[in-house]
Amino acid sequence: MSKTPFSEGITAGRLSAAELSENFGDLHPRFDDHEALVAADRCYFCHDAPCMTACPTDIDIPLFIRQIATGTPEAAARTIFDQNILGGMCARVCPTETLCEEVCVRETAEGKPVEIGRLQRYATDTLVDAGVHPFKRAAATGKKVAVVGAGPAGLAAAHRLAMHGHDVTVYDARPKAGGLNEFGIAAYKSVDGFAAREVDWLLKIGGITIETGRALGAGLSLDGLKATHDAVFLGIGLGGVNALGVDGEDKDGVEAAVDFIAELRQASDLASLPIGRDVVVIGGGMTAVDAAVQAKLLGALNVSLVYRRGRDRMNASEFEQDLAASKGVRIITNASPKAVIGNGAVREIEFAYTDDDLNPTGDTIRLAADQVFKAIGQTLEGEGLPALERGKIKVDDAGRSSVAGIWAGGDCATGGDDLTVTAVAEGRDAAEDIHATLMA
């Protein structure tokens, strides 16, 4: 007998293939030509545009939109890629509602910003889909740079270094390059294997070798890399998952949200992916929303997202919160996990209600749960890293770590805000500093 959302326990096949395909379709499909022109026409070509200032990678947004409006999306793509080589993924995953679009003057004027993210996707897809790589590699410098981590920071650094003529080897612990773009983002934000296609397209610059299945500590040492390369860039992300720190956390069915998201992204058949009937996600960031929404889309009957503070403190943007709510996720705030209850496997989870300062009010609530996803933050893992600050590799504005010859960027380093686009900016800027250092 086939399963339904009402079926008990953690089980696969709650929804039909057709329903799953519909649920996991493109969240914001690409604009067609007409939609792009209409959207581009709304841009005022502002002076010293607020959207540009808000973009961590400083993309010249008014210029690329004007290039779209005048029928040259290829030139628009070039403008974007000049600043952000992963502009295609950023167009899909950037929380534009809290970055460029939030400050768009038409948001001020009409409460409806120019749809910058979707226009960026229109432009970047034009070149990526055509397989056209718009940059050429400079003459070889003979310098070798090791990049550890093939996520947004590492890829951005590698591309910029290769463009300047250096030979780059990118090491990544996973079996595929892409980092969080490939393993850590909701499937409906990056359909049709875009993350992998984007990596292939990026590598067309030449001069970059990717070695997967190579992790620091597992046959790869920082000292070894330093000895064999002229510079090292660390973009290793945050490999560890914070624990709830409550009784019963080790029960079956309590999992890291990032693992669920990664498994889902790599699944070839969503119908074979098991999901609970009563799912509880703990956390208030993008990872929590991605896990909760996807659990619902897989056919979970009840999905609750529980956050310890108020909605206004959630890291997930208002858009993400609304998306979760629209998909049927119940958002519970001001509740901290107290105990995971169950005999072997989780059956219920108890929360204590708290005020905004996290003081318990004395009230508790128990939610039925056959699956619990932890999404309360990730931590840096690794031995022998350069000096840390607040749990991250301490870097200066140029991405230099405490150790000469080692740069770092992205989520593993200080200074960022755990966004793809920020990681790209940091990787790019560190690469420029590495280049300047090596050529000095």
Partner 1 sequence: MADLTSEFIGIKSPNPFWLASAPPTDKEYNVRRAFEAGWGGVVWKTLGEAGPPVVNVNGPRYGAIHGADRRLLGLNNIELITDRPLEVNLEEMTRVKRDYPDHALIASVMVPCEEKAWKDILPMIAETGCDGFELNFGCPHGMAERGMGSAVGQVPEYIEMVTRWAKEATGLPVIVKLTPNITNILYPATAALNGGADAVSLINTINSITSVNLDVMSPEPMIDGKGTHGGYCGPAVKPIAMNMVAEIARNPETAKLPISGIGGVTTWRDAAEFMALGAGNVQVCTAAMTYGFKIVQEMISGLSQWMDEKGYESTADFVGMATPNVTDWQYLNLNHVTKAVINEEDCIKCGRCYAACEDTSHQAIEMSEDRVFTVKDDECVACNLCVNVCPVEGCITMKTLEPGDMDERTGQPVSPDYGNWTTHPNNPSVQAAE
Distance CA 282, CA 296 (A): 15
Q: Does 48 sit near partner 1 (CB under 8 A)?
A: yes
Nearer to partner 1, 105 or 398 (CB): 105
Q: How far is CA 398 from CA 119, 165, 394, 427, in A?
A: 30, 20, 11, 10
In terms of CB distance, is 35 or 348 closer to partner 1?
A: 35
Q: Could you give the C-alpha distances from 25 to 21, 22, 57, 188, in angstroms and in order?
A: 6, 5, 28, 6
Residue 42 or 394 having the CB closest to partner 1? 42
In whole angstroms, give the CA distance from residue 381 to residue 387: 13
45 binds partner 1 (CB under 8 A): yes
Give the contact letters, 106-145, x = binds to partner 1 (CB under 8 A), - = no. Answer: x-xx------------------------------------
Of 41-49, 140-148, 306-314, 353-361: span binding partner 1 (CB under 8 A): 41-49
Answer yes or no whether residue 355 interacts with partner 1 by CB under 8 A.
no
User: How many residues belong to the site for partner 1 (CB under 8 A)?
Assistant: 15
Taking the least distance from each CB to partner 1, the nearer of 47 and 390 is 47
Among 6, 47, 111, 344, binds partner 1 (CB under 8 A): 47
70 part of the interface to partner 1, by CB under 8 A: no
Dist CA 170 CA 147 (whole Å): 5
The minimum distance between CB 38 and partner 1, in angstroms, equals 6
One of 105, 267, 339, 365 touching partner 1 (CB under 8 A): 105
Q: Enter the tokens of residue 218.
A: 């597992």
- Rounded to a whole number of angstroms, the minimum distance from the CB of residue 115 to partner 1 is 14
Among 244, 275, 240, CA closest to 258: 240
Nearest to 411 by CA among 156, 196, 151: 151
C-alpha–C-alpha distance, residues 431 and 396, integer Å:
13
Task: Determine if 50 is a binding residue for partner 1 (CB under 8 A).
Answer: yes
Distance CA 430, CA 168 (A): 14
Q: Among the candidate windows 16-24, 102-110, 161-169, 415-423, which touches partner 1 by CB under 8 A?
A: 102-110
Please report whether residue 191 would count as binding partner 1 according to CB under 8 A. Answer: no
Nearer to partner 1, 110 or 389 (CB): 110
Q: Please report which helix (H) or strand (E) contains residue 36, including its range.
A: helix 33-41
The count of other CB atoms within 10 Å of the CB of residue 191 is 13
64 DSSP 8-state letter? H
The residue behind tokens 């409006």 is 69
User: Which residue of 8, 22, 33, 41 would you call a contact of partner 1, by CB under 8 A?
Assistant: 41
Binding to partner 1 by residue 44, rule CB under 8 A? yes
**Considering beta carbons, is residue 51 or 236 the nearer one to partner 1?**
51
Give least dist CB 395 to partner 1, A: 27
Q: Does 32 bind partner 1 (CB under 8 A)?
A: no
d(CA 89, CA 195): 7
> What SS3 state is found at 44?
coil
Query: What minimum distance in Å lies between the beta carbon of 45 and partner 1?
Result: 7
**Partners of 304 in beta bridges:** 280, 330
Using rule CB under 8 A, residue 46 touches partner 1? yes
Cβ-based nearer residue to partner 1, 99 or 173: 99
The H or E element containing residue 304 is strand 302-306
**For binding to partner 1 (CB under 8 A), which residues are involved?**
37-38, 41-42, 44-50, 105-106, 108-109
